[in-house]
Amino acid sequence: MARAVTGYLDHLTVERGLAANTIASYRRDLRRYTEYLDAAGVRGLGEIAESDVAGFLAALRRGDDDHPPLSATSAARAVVAVRGLHRFALLDGLVPDDVAAEIRPPTPARRLPKAVPVESVVALIEAAGAVEGPRGLRDRALLELLYGTGARISEAVGLAVDDVDRGQATVRLAGKGGKERIVPVGSYALRAVEEYLVRARPELAVKSRGGVRGGTLFLNVRGGPLSRQSAWQILRSAAERAAGGSSELARSVSPHTLRHSFATHLLDGGADVRVVQELLGHASVTTTQVYTLVTVDRLREVYATSHPRALS
């Protein structure tokens, strides 16, 4: 069993090229699966029945003394990992049947992305830039770039200086699975990045003991690469300042707030959903279409409050 899991994870890493975070999640899920099978007295792949796989799914949702109940989303990911393992074992000739083929992951409840109005985005960016010194220039450039490109926070902190082409007004983003995409970037973000590069980054870079490796764009106060956690804290702190300490804005901000707002505002402005899909780096348009539900809700709200015969 352990050899099969190792072989499957190696296959996902080398041949499928899945991201390191995804591999780590699958490894945790499959470790829990093997522990569940051990407790049930199942020692090898050939001994596993469909009822064992179904029982594992039920155990995930139920939880136990060592594990809290998993949400539908987390349980679905674990089941996908288990199904992939059994499919791999079948194709590799380790077992004669795929006992997990008929086990369906639970369907997660559809959660609509939370976008904030344009004026709130502006307030966030202004609040980030209000910090004195190089940090304020860096924070403003970061938030302008997040909103101006729809980048994930992890993509933004992974940027190198050369990834921003100021002449072509584009930025090269490395998305999930190492897939790169070129995204246009607006004048506000370009201007903020230019000011940061000229007036702030050199001051931060000199504080690095070993030099800044790889020409990382966004640096922390010690001259090293800015982490995803630090970038999220920058966004949260800007929201608190913009909200004056406590308001709906401060409560509604998440690491994806500016990305969600980017997509929603594009669709509100008439952008085609396929274009937004490309800009966000979604593999399937189905993922992007959740934003169309947000804009339909907005249209319904405007209609209900504006049309003279909308309400009975």
Residue 268's closest CA among 297, 248, 239? 297
Catalytic one among 77, 140, 152, 260?
152
Same domain, 152 and 298: yes
Domain membership flag for residue 13 = yes
Same domain, 50 and 133: no
- For the chain, where are the E strands, in sequence order? 164-165, 170-174, 180-184
Same domain, 81 and 151: no
Catalytic one among 8, 147, 196, 291?
291
Catalytic one among 86, 256, 260, 265?
256
Same domain, 55 and 160: no
Residue 166 appears among annotated catalytic residues? no
Q: What is the pLDDT of residue 210?
A: 61
Q: Of the residues 74, 91, 108, which one is the last residue of a structural domain?
A: 91
Same domain, 142 and 80: no
Residue 256 appears among annotated catalytic residues? yes
Q: What is the pLDDT of residue 311?
A: 60
List of the chain residues with pLDDT < 70? 108-112, 209-214, 245-249, 298, 301-303, 305-307, 309-312
Same domain, 209 and 294: yes
Q: What is the pLDDT of residue 84?
A: 93
Query: What is the pTM assigned to this prediction?
Result: 0.65
Three-state secondary-structure class, residue 216? strand
Catalytic one among 27, 114, 176, 228?
176
CATH number of residue 244's parent domain: 1.10.443.10
Domain with 6, as residue range(s), is 2-91
Residue 207 appears among annotated catalytic residues? no
Three-state secondary-structure class, residue 136? helix
Residue 260 appears among annotated catalytic residues? no
The total domain count for the chain is 2
Q: What is the pLDDT of residue 112?
A: 67
Same domain, 141 and 43: no
Same domain, 170 and 39: no
Same domain, 159 and 19: no
Distance CA 217, CA 248 (A): 32
Residue 147's closest CA among 235, 273, 88, 206? 235
Q: What is the pLDDT of residue 302?
A: 67
Same domain, 83 and 198: no
Q: Of the residues 91, 126, 161, which one is the last residue of a structural domain?
A: 91
Same domain, 72 and 154: no
Query: Taking a C-beta distance cutoff of 8 angstroms, is the pair 7, 91 a contact?
Result: no
Residue 120's closest CA among 232, 229, 235, 292? 235
Distance CA 16, CA 172 (A): 22
Residue 259 appears among annotated catalytic residues? yes
Same domain, 140 and 271: yes
